[in-house]
Amino acid sequence: MPTSQAVVDEHAHENPALLHHFATEGQQKNAASLGMWVFLAQEVMFFGGMFCAYLVYRYKYFADFGSASQQLNIWLGAINTAVLICSSLTVVLAVRAAQLGKRMALVFWLVATIFLGLVFLGIKADEYAEKFEKHHVPGAHFSYHELLPGQEKLPEAERQYANPHHAEMYFSLYFALTGMHALHMIIGVGLFGFLACMAWRGKYTPEFYTPIENSGLYWHFVDIIWIYLFPLLYLIDRHR
Amino acid sequence: MATTDGPDFGERENYLNAGHGLKSWLLTVDHKRIALLYLISITFFFFIGGFFALLIRLELLTPAGELVQSDTYNKLFTMHGQVMVFFFLIPAVPAVLGNFLMPLMIGAKDLAFPRINLLSWYLYIIGGTLMVYTILNGGVDTGWTFYTPLSTEFANTNVISAILGIFFAGFSSILTGLNFIVTTHRMRAPGMTWSRLPLFVWAHYATSIIQVLGTPVVAITLVLVALERLLHLGVFNPALGGDPLLFQHLFWFYSHPAVYIMILPGMGIVSEIVCCFSRKRIFGYKAMTLAVVGIAVIGFLVWAHHMFVAGISVYAALIFSLLSYFVAVPSAIKVFNWTATMYKGSITYQTPMLYCFGFVGLFTIGGLTGLFLAALGVDVHVHDTYFIIAHFHYIMVGGMVMAYLGGMHFWWPKISGRMYPEGWGKLAALIVFIGFNLTFFPQFILGYMGMPRRYHSYPPEFQILNVLSTAGATILAVGYLLPMVYFVWSMRYGKPAPANPWNAAGLEWQTPSPPPTFNFDEQPVVTWEAYNYDGIGEIPEKEREEVPVAH
């Protein structure tokens, strides 16, 4: 850890992006980057509370949650996973373009990221609409009458159905987790829209592209949340 | 380095006269001005919370519920808790003194993110406004803990607006913590190594870790409670198979470490003051730094001791009981080291030091009674009695508020550029100490005798102790109003303060009082260890003179 970052650099104040209370650009960039990582640590704990609740109930009501999980469309989930992984690539390419000072390429990759984010949100909206149609949204109109996993192979008289209360808890957690994730996606899309405008005006240079890099970190974090949500919500107990 | 001795008001530009008008305050990014914005806001909420406390004590003056109905009483203690915890105790020291002093102590021009600092104040104000709305709209009666299913299913008071208010205050606290962590890592002056940092900075660093890692958990938990009320999501609903214990785990995962958010900054203050008024280097600097970090880390592993009678597994209870004992070790190290610092020191008895004596004694009582509660058998006996109330008020009021007041007196010359009246200061410190003990010591006995918390009436044999407690609360209120009055008085009529009235060793005293907007006229370079009192003389005689108390 350098302890003398604040050594006054006589030339530093020529950069208009350097804020008054930093001594050097390096100090400013390091501070912004550490700030983003600390913020993401906070985000991990924020989602962590819901993941914890999900894991407790998944363990407690394993078969019922398995039944409810089979109501999700695995193909839409898989496509969305692929879309998000691609958007992580476009973000990295945007950061690369900013490092190289290629303004048009930066704008292009930012817009591509926004596009992929919107595709994800569109598919998610379609999935939500299906839940409303099937009355799988928790609340007064919730209804659920589905078999436990693996029961369809048995003769009809011996089949067991999932507990609708536990299925309602599954969908509560499904909406809480994916809803909070979608909210983060919407914030990310808005952020990239702002950055794309700024990039178009040529605000970012190879010397100053910290907002692009830190927003990229945020986007990767939101992707990683989905990388955990997809198997937890869609895939467990799917093989039977 | 500018170490002007005489008062130089009107000539030198400082952060107070750098800009005028409301706009220059509401849009400021100067950490010192934001600290003052926080000071005004938390003082407002302190007196709101204190008002509820006085109503509670008034009601408990007589055994029968005569002043308020039980429903109203439920609201009173709920809002007393919520206002005091989320809108006073948690932000008090970090957002006021921490905000003001962190950059000064490490030789920086500002916190790492000045605009985020301002944003955190606005989030606090949004949260505070929602809390005031909650109060004016009839209050909330779930207890400050929002236990489910009471909060999700049965309470028909303003649960959602209270939750929203606390949610915003929580994010204000997270952003303050984030700012302090980055500032400590990235903004230190040349030569200000980690082993030269004042313990005040270490304490705030440890506090910030708890704020950043703990607060989001309670934030999302309360959001889930609000969604359960609003949209009927069923996460904690027992009718669907939801587990109220899960809520309690998630709630205390933050809310136990939150007591360390309240006490660790106070410990930082005490370390500064004890060294200054003993004219000695702190005893065991390294042990003190490890102790604050140790408290922050172990503090995350003890939360379920709030749930010993809630039906958790007996094996889990054993482990949590043991871990709760462990957290006493670093706390005891701190108490021993403050005492050892005072040993053979040249102690002088200025107001800040009086508050520190109060802190060390009361924190020790609060901490040791905490061990009673960590013991599984004793906890079953005194759980949810006034013993608990007395215990945590010894930590939060006897510890944290004492430290806060001590710190306010110690740094008031730096903040305002004026000296407070020393005689009145000592008198107020004495009143606070007497009032505090008279209020809360009887509650230990009441609790041990079995008086439960959260009831507005009680058997007549408990009345004498309750009357003593109410009398103490009245004295305590006078003790809190006094500093408020003479601080405001001193802003205009106080003796102008020199740069370093206590001849203290910290960097914050190496710049004029009040400091200029960018803190130091030239970039400080640190070549000495913290608390370098060997090379510094005594406290100047003129500051030791007592101003006689008017009779």
Q: What ipTM was assigned to the predicted interfaces of this complex?
A: 0.92
- Report CB contact under 8 Å: B216, A42: yes
Cβ neighbours around B95 below 10 Å, total? 25
- Mean pLDDT of the residues in chain A: 91
| Closest residue on chain B to A21 (Cα) | B109
Answer whether B164's CB lies under 8 Å from B500's CB. no
Cα distance between residue A231 and residue A209, in whole Å? 34
Q: Is A3 on the interface with B (CB under 8 A)?
A: yes
Would you state the pLDDT for residue B65?
A: 84
- pLDDT over 90, % of chain B: 91
Q: pLDDT for A195-209, tens place per residue? A: 999 999 999 999 999
Cβ atoms within 10 Å of A238's Cβ, excluding its own: 13
Q: Which of A30, A44, A45 to mutate to test the interface with B (most CBs of B within 10 A)?
A: A45
Verify cis geometry, omega within 30 degrees of 0, for the bond prior to B149.
Answer: yes
Cβ contacts of residue B409 below 8 Å, gap of 6+?
A: B350, B351, B352, B355, B420, B425, B483
Query: Using the beta-carbon criterion (under 8 Å), do A168 and B234 form an inter-chain contact?
Result: yes
Is the model's pLDDT at A2 over the cut of 70? Answer: no
Amino acid identity at A129: A
In a 3-state reduction of DSSP, which class is residue A205? Answer: strand
Q: Which amino acid is at B104?
A: L
CB B35 within 8 A of CB B103: no
Given a cut of 70, whether residue B420 has pLDDT beyond it is: yes
Query: Tens digit of pLDDT for each residue in B325-379?
Result: 999 999 999 999 999 999 999 999 999 999 999 999 999 999 999 999 999 999 9
pLDDT of residue B536: 75
pLDDT for residue A11 is more than 50:
no
Q: Check if the beta carbon of residue B320 is closer than 8 Å to that of residue B305.
A: yes
Main-chain phi, psi angles of B496, to 5 degrees: -55, 140
What pLDDT score does B11 carry?
Answer: 62
A135 touches chain B (CB under 8 A): no
Q: How confident is the model at residue B114 (pLDDT cuts 50, 70, 90)?
A: very high
Task: Tell me whether residues B185 and A34 touch, CB distance under 8 A.
Answer: yes
- Interface touch A140/B227, C-beta < 8 Å: no
Q: Do A52 and B191 touch (CB under 8 A)?
A: no
Residue A240 has pLDDT above 80, yes or no: no
Residue A63 touches partner B, C-beta closer than 8 Å: no
Give me B364's structure tokens: 């020790």
- Identify any residues that bridge with B496 across adjacent strands, giving them in sequence order: B418
* pLDDT-above-70 percentage for chain B: 95
**pLDDT of B12 higher than 60:** yes
In whole angstroms, what separates CA B364 from the centre of its chain?
Answer: 17
pLDDT at A225: 97
Unique residue bearing structure tokens 């890692």? B213
What is the C-alpha to C-alpha distance for residues B400 and B490, in angstroms, rounded to an integer?
24
In this predicted structure, the answer to whether residue A114 has a pLDDT above a threshold of 50 is yes
Is residue B274 packed enough to be buried (19+ CB in 10 Å), middle (13-18) or exposed (0-12)?
buried
pLDDT digits (tens, 9 = 90+) for B251-281: 999 999 999 999 999 999 999 999 999 999 9
Is A53's CB within 8 Å of B174's CB? no
Interatomic CA distance for residues B113 and B248, integer angstroms: 34
Residue keyed to tokens 């709305």: B133
Residue B6 above 60 pLDDT? no
Amino acid at B377: G
Q: How far apart are CA B461 and CA B112, in angstroms?
A: 57
The H or E element containing residue B172 is helix B159-186
Q: Which residue do the tokens 């960590």 mark?
A: B374
CB distance A138–B186 less than 8 Å?
no
Rounded to the nearest 10°, the torsion over CA B109, B115, B119, B122 is 70
Place of tokens 């809108």: B87
Picking from B135, B111, B143, the residue whose alpha carbon sits closest to that of residue B38 is B111
Cα–chain center distance at B437: 18
- pLDDT digits over A168-198, tens only? 999 999 999 999 999 999 999 999 999 999 9
Residues of B in contact with A1 (CB under 8 A): 185, 194
From B30, B108, B72, select the one nearest B454 (Cα to Cα): B72
Q: CB A76: neighbour CB atoms within 10 A? A: 15
pTM: 0.93
**Contact B240/A142 with Cβ under 8 angstroms?**
no
- Rounded-to-integer distance, Cα B149 and Cα B131, Å: 22
Spatial contact of B477 and B248, defined as CB atoms under 8 Å apart? no
**Mean pLDDT over the full length of chain B:** 93
Amino acid at residue number A173: L
Beta bridge partners of residue A208, listed in sequence order: A205
Element (DSSP H or E) covering residue B272: helix B257-278
Q: Would you state the pLDDT for residue B542?
A: 57
Which among B216, B241, B523 has the least Cβ separation from residue A8?
Answer: B523
Which residue of chain A is at minimal alpha-carbon distance from B250? Answer: A49
Closest by alpha carbon to B123, among B72, B171, B156, B80?
Answer: B171
B246 — contact with chain A (CB < 8 Å)? yes
> CA-to-CA distance for A163 and A169, rounded, in angstroms?
10
pLDDT band at residue B13 using 50, 70 and 90 as cut-offs: confident
Residues forming a β-bridge with B452: B385
- Residue A84 CA, distance from chain mean position: 8
Q: How many CB pairs under 8 A join A and B?
A: 132
Coil, helix or strand at residue A142 = coil
The per-residue pLDDT for range B22-51, each reduced to its tens digit, is: 999 999 999 999 999 999 999 999 999 999
Model pLDDT, residue A16: 76
Which residue on chain B is closest to A48 by alpha carbon? B217
Cβ contact, residue pair B220, A47, below 8 Å: yes
pLDDT at position A153 is 85
Whole-angstrom CA distances from B306 to A6, A131, B248, B312 are 45, 39, 9, 10
Q: In 3D, which of B334, B347, B336, B333 has the Cα closest to residue B276?
A: B347
pLDDT band at A48 (very low <50, low <70, confident <90, very high): very high
Q: Which residues on chain B are in Cβ contact (under 8 Å) with A43?
A: 216
Helix (H, G, I), strand (E, B) or coil at B452: strand
* Res B499 pLDDT > 80: yes
Per-residue buried b or exposed e for B237-257, using 16+ beta carbons within 10 Å of the residue's own CB: beebbbbbbbbbbbbbbbbbb
Distance CA A164, CA A150 (A): 17
Identify which of A42, A60, A176 has the shortest CB distance to residue B233. A176
The tokens 């909420």 sit on which residue? Answer: B45
Cβ contact B178–A35 (<8 Å): yes
Instruction: Say if residue A74's pLDDT is above 50.
Output: yes
Neighboring chain B residues of A57 at a CB cutoff of 8 Å: 241-243
Q: Within an 8 Å CB–CB cutoff, is residue B263 touching chain A?
A: no
For residue B541, what pLDDT is reported?
60
The reply to whether A24 touches chain B by the CB within 8 Å rule is no
Contacts of A168 in chain B (CB under 8 A): 234, 240
Residue B241 to residue A46, Cβ atoms within 8 A: no
pLDDT digit string (tens) for B484-497? 999 999 999 999 99
Give residue A152's pLDDT: 83
* B418: β partners: B496
Query: Rounded to an integer, what distance in angstroms lies between the CA atom of residue B93 and that of residue B257?
Result: 16
Other C-beta atoms closer than 10 Å to the C-beta of B493 total 10
DSSP B335-404: HHHHHHHHTT------HHHHHHHHHHHHHHHHHHHHHHHHSHHHHHHHTTBHHHHHHHHIIIIIIIIHHH
Whether B143 contacts B81, CB under 8 Å: yes
Residue from B118, B235, B249, B250 whose CB has the most chain A CBs within 10 Å, to mutate: B235
Can you tell me the distance from the alpha carbon of B547 to that of B424, in angstroms, rounded to the nearest whole number?
A: 8
Q: Are B75 and B140 in contact (CB under 8 A)?
A: yes
Q: Which one-letter amino acid corresponds to residue A14?
A: E
Q: What pLDDT does B543 receive?
A: 55
Q: Three-state SS for B221? A: helix
Burial B361-390 (b: 16+ CB within 10 A, else e): bbbbbbbebbebbbbbebbeebbebbbbbb
* pLDDT given for residue B545 in this prediction: 47
What sections of chain A are H helices per DSSP? 25-60, 62-69, 74-100, 103-133, 164-200, 210-230
Question: What pLDDT does residue B4 have?
Answer: 43
Two tokens at B119?
């944003």
B3-17, B76-90, B293-307: which range is least confident on average?
A: B3-17
